[in-house]
Chain A
Amino acid sequence: MSNERTILVCAKETPDTYSDLSFSGGDVQFSNPRPVLNAYDASALEEALVLSEAHGFRVHVVMIGPERAAETLRKALAMGADEATLLTGAPEGADSAVIATILSSFVQQFGPDAVIMGRQSQDTDVGLAGTMLAEHLGWPWTTNAIGIRVEENMFWVKRQGDSAQESISSPMPCLITCSNNLNDPRIPTLKGIMASKKKPMHIMGIDQLPGGESLISTHPSTVVDALTPMPERSKGQVVEGDLETLVDALVKGLAAIPETGVDP
């Protein structure tokens, strides 16, 4: 089994940002208290599982988080990943750079053939950790994947660029970050959930990684100082009525914006 190729999926647990949020004491609370697997990472995992089914990769998922996050990581095993590692003890307020440094240490020790991860997390929407990690590893990277296939020992990624789709081939090992438009992640089946309980889940302090002593004392270089509610857009006028009323309201609305070129 030693020559089996491995895809490492780097995943993050996030609050359920699509549930209602409220502020209390400068902190944000969500109506669904259960954390979720970041949607973009779920797409990355789905793609890794599809590639595994076609090419026989072993799929390993790594997550940085508190011990409680094992529950979310278990969901990744229920979706079909073979094995998982939870890295605990990350510094308080770890930013993308700290996360990328920790992951880099893990990846170097682990030695996968590819790292596949979400292009951003659904809570902070930062989207930096992926290419930071690739740069630390000295690996080729492709971001915002909307299609991935493996051929001739290469990863072929279709990425959505600004004005075209780009088809990029990379030798292994390489790093790929995924759009959530890549696929619809599978829902764990009952059988998958039962099987996940027997799959290996390693819980490991980051101090156990190579360079672990310095990893636990790394200070994040960017600090989130305050969270405030976004100034809400106030609800404007809602127009109902016959066709003429609706069209009049639209023409008036369009004419109020000089750039439309519609005469007031």
Chain B
Amino acid sequence: MSSGEQSSGAQSSGEQSSGEKAQVEAWLIGPEAETHQAKAAQYGASILRLMNLEVDADQGGVKVSLGRRWVDAIDEIMTQSTSELNSEGHPSDSTLLLFDNTELTKDILGACGARLGAPVIADVVDLSWDGKQCIAQRPTYASKVMSKVITSGSVCLCSIRAGLFEPEEHPVDATTHHYSAPTTDALGQVLQALVAPEGDTVDLTEAPIIVGVGRGISDETGKELVAKLAELIQGEIAISRAHFESGMYSHTLLVGQSGKVVAPRLYLALGISGSIQHVAGMSESHTIIAINKDPDAPIFEIADVGIVGDLYQILPALNQALESKKDE
């Protein structure tokens, strides 16, 4: 089948020389895959491929399957869908598989690439693909340098950094295909336990407002002030490495080179000095407001608004000001 004809059956293929658009599919894999069905169609995926995975551990509403199950699942859907498209007479000659950039993806992306024999580009912030060549931009050297990476192949894999692409609603009538999870040989590996943080689990990478807490908040009083502020501005709390060690907050809230990479509408940095490692995780935020008592803190070099002062004086006054505005 020539490249011009492939769009009708292609898996997420790009625009070909004939100008036909890519076919966009959503592969919904996981413990409760069908719950995301409506949303995927809302954003323009015309083919949904669903696979429920066996759950290895379930704790407080958090369900986790071993990474190997995901790799087997993606491999299986790739094989099955390719053969379906072939038998329908619409073979796909190129596929771009896009992943989010979560810890789950980081756990499986390399293995998926190796399994599928496909090139992989991780943590992409800008991407173009013409069905043959994939050109990606990705931050490197602790987000100080942009690296342009080129690859080609009939299948390419990319993980996309969160918060940089505005999702556009584009409802379509989607066709759904169901698949059974293949039998995974866990190779003796067992997911023994989960320690899920108390309270609601939040997806920081999707939060529009993030309140980042650093060393400048050092006790329960400070923690309460921060919680109050976060509530008033509908923000989610994140932490710098200082609080990975303090034990005051859940480790899942870590933002930085070794934690989550976020790009919210607003990142409010409280008592965060702005180490290279932390900044690498939040420098793409649309707006950064920082409060720090050290006027020379590096965070002020990247903040849109920098406030020099003592958090323990500022936060009570700020919370009061915001509350009285609400009462007006």
Q: Give A residues with C-beta under 8 Å from B.
A: 15, 17-18, 21, 28, 40, 96-97, 100, 119, 122-136, 138-144, 146, 156, 159-171, 174, 179-181, 221-231, 233, 235-240, 243-244, 246-247, 249-251, 253-254, 256-257, 259-263
Contacts and interface: CB of A to CB of B under 8 A. Distances in A.
Contacts of A165: 194-195, 251-252
A171 B114 CA distance: 22
A227 B140 contact: yes
Contacts of B174: none
A233 B60 CA distance: 40
Contacts of A126: 122-123
Interface stretch (B36-44, B217-225, B313-321): B313-321
B101 to A, nearest CB: 10
B139 A125 contact: yes
Interface in B122-139: 122-123, 135, 139
* Of A21, A222, A260, A261, most B-chain CB atoms within 10 Å: A222
B181 interface: no
Interface residues of B, number: 98
A146 B291 CA distance: 30
Contacts of A142: 189
Interface string B83-117: 00000000000000000001110111111011100
B325 A262 contact: yes
Contact of B104 (A123, A125, A161): A161
Interface SS, A side: mixed
A131 B114 contact: yes
A236 B287 CA distance: 10
Contacts of B328: 263
A142 B289 CA distance: 37
Contacts, number: 284
28 contacts: A21-B141, A100-B114, A123-B141, A127-B110, A127-B122, A140-B68, A156-B192, A161-B103, A162-B102, A166-B57, A166-B64, A167-B192, A168-B66, A168-B189, A180-B258, A181-B258, A228-B148, A230-B143, A230-B144, A230-B283, A235-B303, A238-B306, A247-B318, A249-B305, A253-B304, A257-B266, A259-B265, A262-B233
Interface SS, B side: mixed
A159 B103 CA distance: 10
Contacts of B140: 123-125, 227
Given A246-B307, A251-B318, A257-B265, A164 B149 contact: no
B115 A253 contact: no
B189 A128 contact: no
Given A165-B194, A249-B305, A261 B187 contact: no
A221 B258 contact: no
B248 interface: no
